[in-house]
Structure 1
Amino acid sequence: LFSHLVKDSMESFTFCHRWLLLGFQREFEHSDALRLFEILSCDHLELISQQLDRARYQERLSQKYCTDDSSKSDLQAFNTDFTFELFICAAILLDNRESLLRCQDDVQLIQFTSSLQGTLDLNSTLQKAESHFYNYCKRCAWDHMQE
């Protein structure tokens, strides 16, 4: 999907910016949009991600000071910029992949994403976004264990 968007010069993701700026208020029914606002406002999933990052960083730091050799440890922190909102975007994009692949320019892309307004199912989107987020956190934890 990303390759298609880049190939046809549609990689600006303006529609995603709108989703993020408006907190998905137009994409879901009003009551679902309010529920999503509450979910996103609690930052529960991001806090778990940040706790994982902090634990990884502290362990790497302690390993650096516990080793006698002079080799440098990689203390690069886990990217906490990936908030749950981005996983909501990813779930919507992946759910509509086939339709997005049929878009040939920015106008068609904006028209299609605008047609989604008020039609998305929050429960399904949340389930998919949570699954993607969980897999991302699990992969990061697995990467940490492999170090």
Structure 2
Amino acid sequence: MAVTVNKQRFSLSLGGDWEETASSDPEITRFSSRQHAANLVISTLALNAKLADTGRIAEKLSELRMDSETQVAAETGIDVTIARPKIVQQPWGHAIAYYGADANGRRFNFSGLVTPKQSISVYAESSKLGEEVLRELLEQVLAKLKFDLA
């Protein structure tokens, strides 16, 4: 069963057994797949920034993500290892990426895109997929993600 979503800030079509799961926040869209043994979370935030400000915004988003990962690890008591986030300037703004794993075998990959109009964060996680396979899965999702780069 395939799923297609058309949200205010993005659209995405996923094949296979991906299903959209409930979210109480309109800026957060969740998907799960048994076939891939993975979950995806896409979150968006409207911005009104200048292109020159996207680097600072990306740095702040990266800090917030690291704080969140650290807080969850502390609250659950599960050790987590996270690679240092990479922030790369793009013609349309900045891209952010990091990956990690916890002591329970959960692996995760994050990709964030910051443009003057919005930020879009895509988080993929799995307790079954290896690091490289999960990264490839995230890259496939990102290739299908449609949004305004202006």
- What TM-score results when the alignment is normalised by the length of structure 2? 0.30
- What TM-score results when the alignment is normalised by the length of structure 1? 0.30
Larger relative contact order (Cα-Cα within 8 Å, sequence gap ≥ 6): 1
Structure with higher strand content: 2
